Amino acid sequence: MGYEKTYEEINEKIRKGEAVVVTAEEIMDVVGEIGYEKAVRQVDVVTTGTFGPMCSSGAFLNFGHSRPRIKMKRVHLNGVEAYTGIAAVDAYIGAAQLPATDPENKVYPGRFSYGGSHVIHDLVAGKEIRLEAEAYGTDCYPNKKVDTVITLGDLNEAILFNPRNAYQNYNCAVNLGDRTLYTYMGILKPNLGNASYSTAGQLSPLLNDPYYKTIGVGTRIFLGGGIGYVAWNGTQHHPNVLRGENGVPMTPAGTLAVIGDLKQMDPDWLVGLSYIGYGATMAVGIGIPIPILNEEILRYTMVRDEDIFCPIVDFFEGYPYSKPIDLGYANVRDLKSGKITVNGKEVVTTPQSSYPRARKIAALLKEWIRSGRFELTRPVAALPSADANIEFKSIPERSPNGMNGRNRRDS
């Protein structure tokens, strides 16, 4: 058995200020210089980072009570509705939620200038937010209306909880059609006019730990400029897909559900986005430390852009209508060069995920760990990995005839 290090040993070094921490870019030079055998002993932590649009994000908020008390039935924050089907003054504001007054795509392509993600950004920035709540009134909660102004500091709790973030690998989107498409991958020009991609590549957290050997439930992470945790696998987590020899999935695969205290986050790392013709979404900053427990884990962190392949997907018919159109793969190194070749044609590339910001997150997390501010956690449970047997399901097509009221208690 080769050299092994424990979480406890690494944390002990962090506490003493002796931990050797490098980013997922820097580790390549380190190993290049001193080789695996020395590097596995010398390096304690490799930091990763990603900063891209992640629609499946949002925050649980507790407003505290009005006088008299209220059981909120509908809540609007700056005109954007938050979900209230939970306790009296709890609500969940989703990043992709739009105000009822948004013209959407009625004038195509819509602008989607302000949505839930912008509310979250404004909250984190300490801005004043209009809170409107309506209720039907009960004996215990008689109030029927609240219309006031709040800030993040006025809330009891604000908990960022994102059900699906940090997708492990992602599609590269193109348009085989003859008209411009407005998608969640940005504007796609007709006739293979551009190829849009969204990955932090060699800095991406789950591409540096492809089998989730160190990233699991309870892993402490950089989240939105603060400290957060991996809560669970994300929705649509699908680890049992085709993988390369390096373990890197050849399609979108693993995902993470993450959680953290919004009150200690930073508006630089949770940014509201408006995708023309598509909707609102949020750029979320995530950085995950990878403890170098052994050489196997070190080897995974050596993943380079050229080792990562994204499936090329047509968004004219292929994606929206689930038509299998094989366009091959795009290499992340080529995507970052600005040009790839698709169907023999040279196509310019359009990034959606910010590589400079991903790099900054990896550097910030490195600094936090070096300064002793951030210790590593051993996962309390593993995420389903490549040996799982997860079926990627779609909505079944069944007739609802005769269902009326069948599952209701009063029927």
Partner 1 sequence: MKDRVVCYFSAAQSEQPIIYRLVKNYDLIFNILKADINPQKEGYLVVELEGNRESYQEGIAFLRSLGVVVEPLSETVVWQEDICIQCGACASFCPTQALDIDRDSMQVSFDNSRCVVCGMCLDCCPTRAIQLHFDLREAAV
Q: Does 52 bind partner 1 (CB under 8 A)?
A: yes
Contact yes or no for 97/113 (Cβ under 8 A): no
Helix (H), strand (E), coil (C) string for 31-63: HHHHHHHHHHHHCCEEECCEEEECCCCEEEEEC
Stated as kind and residue range, the H or E segment containing 231 is strand 226-233
The full DSSP string for 252-319 is: S---EEEEEEGGG--GGGEEEEEETTTEEEEEEEEE-EEE--SHHHHHHTT--GGG-EEEEEETTTTT
Stretch that binds partner 1, among 24-32, 155-163, 171-179, 331-339 (CB under 8 A): 331-339
Q: Pick the stretch among 12-20, 23-31, 51-59, 170-178 that binds partner 1 (CB under 8 A).
A: 51-59
Does 57 help bind partner 1 (rule: CB under 8 A)?
no
* Residue 224 Cβ vs partner 1, minimum distance, rounded to whole Å: 13
| Contact between 56 and partner 1 per CB under 8 A | no
Interaction between residue 377 and partner 1 (CB under 8 A)? no
Among 34, 276, 325, 342, binds partner 1 (CB under 8 A): 276
Give the binding range for partner 1 (CB under 8 A) out of 162-170, 242-250, 336-344, 388-396: 336-344
Q: How far is the CB of 388 from partner 1 (least distance, A)?
A: 32
Residues 138-167 that bind partner 1 (CB under 8 A): none
Report how many residues bind partner 1 under the rule CB under 8 A. Answer: 30
Residue number, 277 or 289, with CB nearest to partner 1:
277
Q: Is the backbone of residue 86 left (phi > 0), alpha (psi -120 to 50) or beta? A: beta
- In whole angstroms, the minimum distance from the beta carbon of 95 to partner 1 comes to 12
CA distance 278 to 388: 34
Q: Identify the residue whose tokens are 């005769």.
A: 402
Q: Does 236 bind partner 1 (CB under 8 A)?
A: no
Helix (H, G, I), strand (E, B) or coil at 228: strand
Which of 92, 222, 229, 355 forms a contact with partner 1 (CB under 8 A)? Answer: 355
Helix (H, G, I), strand (E, B) or coil at 242: coil
Q: Scanning residues 357 to 376, which ones bind partner 1 (CB under 8 A)?
A: 357
Q: Which amino acid is at 203?
A: L
Burial of 161 (0-12, 13-18, 19+ CB in 10 A): middle
Least distance between partner 1 and beta carbon 19 (Å): 27
Token pair of 328 as six digits:
């091959």
Of 167 and 374, the one with the shorter C-beta distance to partner 1 is 167
Q: x-or-dash pattern for partner 1, window 256-275, by CB under 8 A? A: ---------------xxxxx
187 binds partner 1 (CB under 8 A): yes
Closest to 155 measured CA to CA, from 236, 199, 230, 91: 91
Residue closest to 209 by CA, chosen among 386, 32, 91? 386
Contact residue for partner 1 among 350, 366, 368, 383 (CB under 8 A): 350
Query: Minimum Å distance from CB 208 to partner 1?
Result: 18
Q: Please report which helix (H) or strand (E) contains residue 334, including its range.
A: helix 332-337
Q: Which is nearer to partner 1, 81 or 334 (CB)?
A: 334
Distance of CA 303 to the CA centre of its chain: 20
Tell me whether residue 55 is one of the annotated catalytic residues.
no
Interface contacts to partner 1, rule CB under 8 A: 51-53, 109, 113, 186-187, 194, 196, 271-276, 281, 283, 336-338, 348-357
Catalytically annotated residues: 140
